[in-house]
Structure 1
Amino acid sequence: MINNKVNEIDGPILVIGASGFIGANLLRYIQNYRNDVFGTSFSGSGWRLDDINSNSIIHLNKYDKSNFLDVINKINPKTIYDCSSFGAYSFEEDAELIHKTNFLSLIDIFEILKDRNISSFIHAGSSSEYGLNSNQPIESSEMIPNSQYSISKIAASNLINYYGKIKNLPAVNLRLYSVYGPYEDSSRLIPTLCKKASNKKLPKFANKSISRDFIYIDDVIDSFIATSLAMNSKIYGESFNVGTGIETTLLDVAQTSKKLFNIPEEPQFKENLKRSWDTENWSANTEKIENHIGWKAKISFEEGLKISFDWWKENFKKRDFATLSKKSSLGGNKNSISAIVACYKDNEAIPIMYERLVNEFEKNNIDYEIIFVNDCSPDNSHEIIKDLSSKNPRVIGITHSRNFGSQAAFLSGMEIFNKESCVLLDGDLQDPPELIEEFIIKWREGYDVVYGDRVKREMPFYIEFFYKSFYFIFDKMSTLNIPRNAGDFSLIDKKVARWIVECDERDFFLRGIRAYVGFNQVGVEYFRAERMFGKSTNNLFKNIGWAKKAIFSYSSLPLHIITSIGFYTTIMTIILGSYSVFMRFYNPGDVPRGITFISLLIMFFGSLSILGLGLLGEYIGKILEEAKRRPRYIRNKIIIRGNERESFN
């Protein structure tokens, strides 16, 4: 039975990583008793929180210190449960992201919390911290890391120890063993076992002698609550093992399953199913947490397995089992895409865009999310996006505080998307969603960026001529190889998108940045139609602005030209002056006379000076914009499942 003293915990309560397995269960349990608990998610809220009141879910980019500070200021939590992590699964291999998520972001969090009056910070650590030293180690045992994940978790536990012991922060690290139960990632052993068992079959196991310390999720929740209630200065910075202390071999798992679910077939064991960092025996010594916290696991493996089976069996009817795993979007299969749609005065086009995107994704069997970025449109785009989001939880809305432009809108969406790649589209339907199928083919062939190559535009021929002329000139002037007829419409792999977001320029020109970051890029030709509804928001002055943005961001040739002209005119002036002096002595009649000649010289050099100052001013103006470091956009609201939330940017 879970600790029934949850109402005694100091609130408000914040659960970081509430869309994950442990965080979702913890949030759900506490919400049964209190209404002052909030959970964070990075993009949307995920399948684990589908039936949770969206008002209790807060968008949080854990890597953005200012974002975390905004969340803390808004909620002012007294108890924080940090359940976020990356790298626990074999398919999560990005070493940089592992350390950024598990350790580096924790530094910023603690720097903010050290001056706050919080009651407890409970961190979900891992038994992986022990690495190769995995057979019932005590908390002070030697750490022998055997993976990047292990290293990051060791670093986090040392950080907690430092802030707890030296900075007097009420923080504790719980080293969790093999947690299982409802809402677990479907790629894991117990969910896979339950899936097979529902058909009276068994999965293939690794070596039968491998043992794990399986602990049911309710016992883990109990340990979080018990630790909060037992928090005192003596345990600040400490780590505690959270497990049953019982070794359960894979043979035990198979035999228990056969007996519990009446499975006739015999289990099969294969040595090569073992993961690279697995050890033979992995079990907890729980004496420390029993003595200091008074906590002990209560649910047996057989009991927990039966509860898990019943839960999963019910959910097999409601959900596609394969999609209930991070592996579906991180496994390298290239089958998940986030569509990011920049919207301004596109209220009539948004529903059509939505239908065409959904049809395209479903036709190609793509796991998707659609992020509509409303760039403070004066029409009813906000209400339309809100309605779509209420009908389809895969639709997320972002509303900006004012109109920042399409480049900022795309960037705003790119910072929160959560799939393997993103597709950028203008909301006016000039970019056909049906082309995404060809993008996917090229992406799966190995290209990291697939952009739309506009071979023809639906516009007057003279305007198209000016467009093509500009791109030809820009291509010659630019220091980068920027495709001439490519716009923003493109599919961008997540690793490329991450580098684009890292480019911290204020005056953001997406197609230039996209070319700058490099990677393997290819174009797909298409005909760009006219805007379906209304008139284009572009005009002559805006197009001139786009041209200036492109040229002054990616070319220093105008400065070189002015420098060259200045050099050669100086030479010519010296020659002309020498000639005039010479002729004054030898043939005074041929020396240029009169106000006309002098006026022409003054006008020529004056115009040249003004042009040079103007060009120099353009570059200085860009320097000024970068130096001011103003936000590239400000989010006003985020819409998830039809509910508006403060974005905290």
Structure 2
Amino acid sequence: MTTHLTQTKPPVLSVVLPVFSVVLPVFNERESLAELHRRLSSVMIALAEPYEIIYVDDGSRDGSGDLLAAIQQNDAQVRVLHLSRNFGHQAAISAGLDHASGDAVIVLDADLQDPPEVLPALLAQWRLGFDVVYAVRRERKENLFKRSAYDIFYRLLRQVANVEIPLDAGDFCVLDRRVADVLRKMPERNRFMRGIRSWIGFRQIGVPYNRAARFAGQPKYSLLKLLRLAFDGFFSFSYLPLRLASLFGLLVSFLGFLLSVWTVYKRFTLPEFPSGFATIVVGVMFLGGIQLIALGVIGEYVGRIFDEVKQRPLYIIGERRGFDDERQAPDA
């Protein structure tokens, strides 16, 4: 009697891919993380769909990275990317997008100024077929100076940009999978994500919301960082600064020509017409100032070209947690 042994194949475990991926750049937000995760998890659980939360630790120095590691240990839906140093808010968003696998990718800040409770309203528009749903700030709980600066910046950028960038729309948004894939392929280093998001097109809609005050801590965007972000917006999406430099040059040359004609005329009509030292000094300083401004504008564009030519990675990952591959990774 022959006995046939039948080999049984091990059961294939089905991997449930997330429907939603939430990307949160984190820099020195230890005081807000516990409350943020509690509120965000409540909202995501209520959606009753598979999800993942990707925290990107952008080189925090206040212990945020250790707290994120603890949160990840206690929540299987959490993934953590630890960048090797602080690469900046926009680079941290890009790192999260590169590792998000959901059908819809949600981007919001970790300081609770973007309330997680607004997410269902944004996702409702995504379910209606919109590829990009961005949150529009109806109110800002910030001081008058900062509110005024933001208002001026957004309205000025809207006028000079070569694409239509929505007013008062920050990085808080929902991106369809195909939009996230397009953003991942964008190679530029000096990133202004809300501008790139407008540039790519697709079906987009805004949802108004009231921007809350910070839950705790101090703003991480200093005046210098805000100015740098504003410059990225202007110089990445407008050639107007270069054109203004050319127009200033033409205007100054024309004024110089008129002044020379006037000087010759006065010399012939007034034999004792005095030559003024002050006029020379003012003229030299005025021309020098215009030249320096023009060189500075050109330098901003050349600096960005230099960044692109070097082809350095946008960010470097020091460690992954919660992903299938958790090894330390020096590559981007």
- Aligned to 1:472, which of 147, 151, 155? 155
SS at match of 1:588: coil
State the match for 1:430 in structure 2.
113
SS at match of 1:443: helix
SS at match of 1:370: strand
The answer to whether the aligner puts 1:361 opposite 2:44 as a matched pair is: yes
The separation in 1 between residues aligned to 2:39 and 2:6, in whole angstroms, is 47
Cα deviation for residue 463 of structure 1 reads 2.1
The answer to whether the aligner puts 1:617 opposite 2:299 as a matched pair is: yes
Cα deviation for residue 2 of structure 1 reads 9.3
SS at match of 1:627: helix
SS at match of 2:108: strand
The separation in 1 between residues aligned to 2:227 and 2:105, in whole angstroms, is 29
Cα deviation for residue 575 of structure 1 reads 2.3
Does the 8 A contact of 1:393 with 1:641 survive in 2? no
State the match for 1:559 in structure 2.
242
State the match for 1:416 in structure 2.
99
The separation in 2 between residues aligned to 1:379 and 1:527, in whole angstroms, is 29
The separation in 1 between residues aligned to 2:178 and 2:274, in whole angstroms, is 66
The answer to whether the aligner puts 1:458 opposite 2:287 as a matched pair is: no
After TM superposition, list the pairs within 5 Å mapping 1:630-641 onto structure 2.
630-640=312-322
The answer to whether the aligner puts 1:182 opposite 2:11 as a matched pair is: yes
Q: Deviation per CA, 1:529-568, whole angstroms, max 9, x where unpaired?
A: 1211111112222221121111111111111011011112
The answer to whether the aligner puts 1:401 opposite 2:84 as a matched pair is: yes
Does the 8 A contact of 2:16 with 2:50 survive in 1? no
The separation in 2 between residues aligned to 1:411 and 1:592, in whole angstroms, is 64
State the match for 1:345 in structure 2.
28
The separation in 2 between residues aligned to 1:378 and 1:642, in whole angstroms, is 26
SS at match of 1:348: helix
Cα deviation for residue 461 of structure 1 reads 1.8
Q: Which one is further off, 384-393 or 467-476?
A: 384-393
The separation in 2 between residues aligned to 1:491 and 1:592, in whole angstroms, is 69
Q: Please tell me the residue identity of whatever aligns with 1:594.
A: G
The separation in 1 between residues aligned to 2:46 and 2:27, in whole angstroms, is 28
Does the 8 A contact of 1:477 with 1:555 survive in 2? yes
Count residues in correspondence: 327
Change (3 A) 1:636 1:436: same
The separation in 1 between residues aligned to 2:61 and 2:45, in whole angstroms, is 32
- RMSD (Å) for aligned C-alpha atoms: 2.2
The answer to whether the aligner puts 1:493 opposite 2:322 as a matched pair is: no
Change (3 A) 1:438 1:491: same
Does the 8 A contact of 2:161 with 2:238 survive in 1? yes
- Aligned to 2:214, which of 531, 550, 559? 531
The answer to whether the aligner puts 1:571 opposite 2:248 as a matched pair is: no
Change (3 A) 1:182 1:514: same
Change (3 A) 1:567 1:389: same
The answer to whether the aligner puts 1:608 opposite 2:290 as a matched pair is: yes
The separation in 1 between residues aligned to 2:279 and 2:65, in whole angstroms, is 64
Cα deviation for residue 481 of structure 1 reads 0.6
The separation in 2 between residues aligned to 1:558 and 1:417, in whole angstroms, is 36
Does the 8 A contact of 1:390 with 1:643 survive in 2? no
Cα deviation for residue 181 of structure 1 reads 6.6
Cα deviation for residue 384 of structure 1 reads 2.0
The separation in 2 between residues aligned to 1:360 and 1:471, in whole angstroms, is 30
Q: Please tell me the residue identity of whatever aligns with 1:388.
A: I
Q: Please tell me the residue identity of whatever aligns with 2:329.
A: S
SS at match of 1:446: coil
The separation in 1 between residues aligned to 2:149 and 2:286, in whole angstroms, is 28
The separation in 2 between residues aligned to 1:338 and 1:354, in whole angstroms, is 14
The separation in 1 between residues aligned to 2:296 and 2:82, in whole angstroms, is 36
**Percent same amino acid among aligned pairs?**
33
TM-score by length of 1: 0.48
Q: Please tell me the residue identity of whatever aligns with 2:162.
A: T
Q: Please tell me the residue identity of whatever aligns with 1:519.
A: F
Cα deviation for residue 382 of structure 1 reads 2.0
Does the 8 A contact of 2:134 with 2:169 survive in 1? yes
The separation in 1 between residues aligned to 2:187 and 2:257, in whole angstroms, is 46
The answer to whether the aligner puts 1:596 opposite 2:278 as a matched pair is: yes
Cα deviation for residue 399 of structure 1 reads 0.1
Higher relative contact order (CA 8 A, sep 6+): 2
Larger radius of gyration: 1
The separation in 2 between residues aligned to 1:417 and 1:646, in whole angstroms, is 18
Change (3 A) 1:583 1:641: closer
Does the 8 A contact of 2:23 with 2:108 survive in 1? yes
Does the 8 A contact of 2:316 with 2:330 survive in 1? no
The separation in 1 between residues aligned to 2:248 and 2:58, in whole angstroms, is 43
Change (3 A) 1:360 1:568: same
Q: Please tell me the residue identity of whatever aligns with 1:554.
A: F
State the match for 1:150 in structure 2.
none
Change (3 A) 1:497 1:543: same
The separation in 2 between residues aligned to 1:363 and 1:579, in whole angstroms, is 77
SS at match of 2:30: coil
Does the 8 A contact of 2:26 with 2:110 survive in 1? yes
Q: Please tell me the residue identity of whatever aligns with 1:344.
A: F
Does the 8 A contact of 1:392 with 1:641 survive in 2? no
State the match for 2:186 in structure 1.
503
